Amino acid sequence: MYATFFAVYETLNMSRAAELLNLASHANVSKSIKQLEAELGMKLFNTSPRGAEPTPECERLYKTIRPLFDEIDFVEKNKQLLTTEIKAGVGTSSSVFHIATGGTIDGELSIIKDSIVPLERSFIVEYLKKYIKPSFDVVSGEAIMKDSREINKEDVANIVKQIMESSHENILVTHGLYTITGTARHIKNYLGENTTKKIIITGSFHPLVGGPLSDAAFNLGFAIASFGNIEPGVHIAMHGTIYNPDEYQINFN
């Protein structure tokens, strides 16, 4: 049904949408659009002999959901490649312990605040299991789910405690970008130089789901695939590169 919606929006014409979708008649397209309008409780298009004109509600719907469908489509088309790369990094006998701390990567757009706010619960592990289906296990730790500017010393101590008490060698921490470097440095100082665990901290400039095409999926895949190539210690994974927290500074430009 949404494929039909996208086709009508992008062609502005029921007949051309039918041709694009290889449907016998534009009547099928019209029927599908009416069903979607009934489900959503809103008018999507004003039709005339000149074509189909999107309503303001239609414009908002398209801009909200099209990036999400594009990202899901990308993951589906590249699932084998993503899984192979991640499997090579982690190893089939290993697993990843994930600690979510909120941030943009695990956020959504708040119309009220006109900014990205953390979700109530992390979507990272669900995303990996549902769309990537890795051959290794991904285990969730205790989530914090904050704007990174609100992460305090107690939160960092909580992260360190989870890392130290976990039986996993590979630790993935997802974090907001504003204070990702500070948190990474604090964790490094807490653990010292002799830790036997591999800790990778990553985040993104755009949310994993619900926003525009995002760097989140790439950063997650790159971070997990890097476990097989790094030494024990604390690392930041951004821009396709592994950084020492003492040498990394986020560039918002």
Domain ranges, ordered by start, for the chain: 2-72, 78-247
Read off the pLDDT of residues 173-222 as tens digits, 9 standing for 90 and up. 999 999 999 999 999 999 988 899 999 999 999 999 876 678 999 999 99
102 has pLDDT over 70:
yes
Q: What is the mean pLDDT of residues 33-53?
A: 89
- On whether the CB atoms of residues 249 and 184 are closer than 8 A, the answer is no
Q: What integer best gives the mean pLDDT of the chain?
A: 86
28 has pLDDT over 80:
yes
74 has pLDDT over 90:
no
147 has pLDDT over 60:
yes
92 has pLDDT over 50:
no
Q: How far apart are CA 191 and CA 172, in angstroms?
A: 15
CATH code linked to domain 78-247: 3.40.50.1170
164 has pLDDT over 90:
yes
The CATH-assigned architecture of domain 2-72 is: Orthogonal Bundle (1.10)
The model's confidence at residue 93, banded by pLDDT at 50, 70 and 90, is: very low
**Segment holding 48, helix H or strand E:** strand 45-48
- Neighbouring C-beta atoms of residue 102, cutoff 10 Å: 25
**pLDDT on residue 3:** 84
- For residue 80, CA distances in Å to 13, 67, 70, 83, 174 come to 36, 21, 17, 5, 23
- In this structure, what token pair is assigned to residue 13? 């014409």
Q: What is the mean pLDDT of residues 121-148?
A: 89
Most confident of 58-67, 69-78, 242-251: 242-251
